[in-house]
Amino acid sequence: MSTDNETGIYLDHHATTPVDDRVLSAMEPIFTNDYGNPASNNNHRQGSRANNHVKKARKRLMSALNATRTEEIIFTSGATESDNLAIKGTMRYAREQSEGTHLITGATEHDAVLDAADALTDEGFEVTILPVDEYGQVDPEDVRDAIRDETVLVSLMAANNEVGTIAPIEEIGRITSEEDVLFHTDAVQAVGYLDLDVDELEIDLMSLSGHKIYGPKGVGALYVRYGSTHIEPLVHGGGHERGWRSGTLNTPGIVGLAKAIKLAESERTDRSAKVRTLRDRFWEGLDEELDEIYINGHPDDRLPNNLNVSFVGVDNQRLVGRLSDDGVYAATGSACSTMETKESHVLTGMLSDDNRIESSIRFGFGKDNTESEIEEAVEVVVNNVKRLRKFNDMV
């Protein structure tokens, strides 16, 4: 079977999202009219106009996060850079100030976080990696128990990018605040679905990305709490972004990011309700037709647009390929780690059943998906799972 939709049925919105037309419209004048370098704001009007766009974008992000100062928003090239800047920058600064050398993170974090932690280990820092339960959640009390005198930073994501599990970041933030330890969260998947009030959640550093929320690729941000949090820059140069991230600012991308975040926040209720309905209908359709399928991740504390399913007895790589051939686009795991085929570290951290791990598929639903697409996608998935299982029985 092949879908009639020329562009296919896109169910991989955790990997990236299409740029919203309203975001694109907001960006277009920066390419054609206000194309100056924001750093030239004291030299001419083009620079001044570009700088004003950046200022407005910074204020918009400040408002969305309930930050207290525009200086707390640092623009980056995306979440990977933001995660690295938050973790390496904070830890290196702390060691320079003799404030500690210990980092705490979790087993199911994004590769950007875990690889940054590995790099710090090579530099002589101490790293504790906390386990998760069968649903992918870290126990907040494990965080408390892991904190010691040398601990500088706890880095745990707000919502998992593979299984959609939402972390108890409010409890974790309260613990880190009580213990006088900094708290960083990768909130890339949570924007537009969770309330990310950095003051209420007692978050010191937060990573954001544009292309996960219908904004452009190549732009992100890092929130850094003013006064109590200091970081060592990874990139040196002209001293942009308070000296923490040098390099000419991506003005069109920054404008697009700000617009995307504004839309995500203002439309949060409607978007969440829609994708949750589509996800639940998709699951109900699969569950009616197939046996031995399991949802991975927390049954309740999960993102409304996420469904990670194990189709026991089916190789996930083969199934994804078959689905793609039939015009349904899903994934076996994080798009940031699929340049090489390997088991998901998220699922291996949660589960001991290899059959579930090796047969897992991630479906990410978006605001532009339709009910008819979901019905067609169910048919495509069911037919291919049955076909692959039948083939396996024959060999």
Q: Tokens 């003051």 correspond to what residue?
A: 199
Domain end point (choices 232, 266, 300): 266
Instruction: Give catalytic status of residue 300 as yes or no.
Output: no
Residue 7 has what pLDDT?
83
What phi and psi values does residue 168 have, to the nearest 5 degrees?
A: -80, 65
Is residue 289 in some structural domain? yes
This prediction has a pTM of: 0.94
- HSE, CB side, 13 Å, CA atoms: give it for residue 56: 13
Q: Tokens 């500088």 correspond to what residue?
A: 152
Quote the CA–CA distance of 288 and 223 in Å, as a whole number: 44
For residue 360 the two structure tokens come to 């897992």
The Cβ of residue 299 has, within 10 Å, a number of other Cβ atoms equal to 8
Nearest to 239 by CA among 91, 84, 74: 74
The Cβ of residue 228 has, within 10 Å, a number of other Cβ atoms equal to 9
How many folded domains does the chain comprise?
A: 2
Q: What is the mean pLDDT of each run of 10 residues along the chain (395 residues)?
A: 70 98 98 92 88 96 97 97 98 97 98 98 98 98 98 99 98 98 98 97 98 98 94 90 89 98 98 99 98 97 98 97 98 64 87 93 98 98 97 65
Beta bridge partners of 151: 102
Write the CATH number for 356.
Answer: 3.90.1150.10
- Which residue segment(s) compose the domain that 206 sits in? 21-266
Verify that 105 and 217 share a domain, yes or no. yes
State which amino acid sits at residue 97.
Answer: Q
Q: Please, are residues 153 and 124 in contact by the beta-carbon 8 Å criterion?
A: no
What single DSSP character describes residue 206? E
For residue 80 the two structure tokens come to 């990977």
Residue 41 has what pLDDT?
80
Quote the CA–CA distance of 280 and 278 in Å, as a whole number: 6
Domain end point (choices 266, 297, 331): 266
Residue 343 has what pLDDT?
82
Verify that 319 and 198 share a domain, yes or no. no
Quote the CA–CA distance of 206 and 253 in Å, as a whole number: 19
Verify that 118 and 262 share a domain, yes or no. yes
Is residue 2 in some structural domain? no
What single DSSP character describes residue 3? -
Verify that 195 and 273 share a domain, yes or no. no
Residue 285 has what pLDDT?
98
Catalytic residue selected from 43, 69, 336, 387: 336
* Residues ≥6 apart with Cβ < 8 Å to 172: 138, 140, 143, 154, 156, 183
Verify that 374 and 291 share a domain, yes or no. yes
Max CA-CA distance within the chain? Answer: 74
Residue 2 has what pLDDT?
47
DSSP track, 329-346: E-BSS-GGGTTS----HH
Residue 6 has what pLDDT?
67
Verify that 144 and 229 share a domain, yes or no. yes
Write the CATH number for 89.
Answer: 3.40.640.10
Is residue 4 in some structural domain? no
Which strand (E) or helix (H) includes residue 82?
A: helix 79-96
Residue 395 has what pLDDT?
47
Residue 43 has what pLDDT?
85
Quote the CA–CA distance of 119 and 220 in Å, as a whole number: 22
Verify that 39 and 176 share a domain, yes or no. yes
Q: Tokens 């309905």 correspond to what residue?
A: 277
The CA distances from residue 86 to 50, 104, 242, 307, in Å, are 27, 13, 14, 29
Verify that 288 and 259 share a domain, yes or no. no
The Cβ of residue 287 has, within 10 Å, a number of other Cβ atoms equal to 13
Verify that 134 and 102 share a domain, yes or no. yes
Is residue 96 in some structural domain? yes
If phi > 0 it is left, if psi is from -120 to 50 it is alpha, else beta; for residue 33 that is alpha
Verify that 51 and 106 share a domain, yes or no. yes
Verify that 246 and 257 share a domain, yes or no. yes
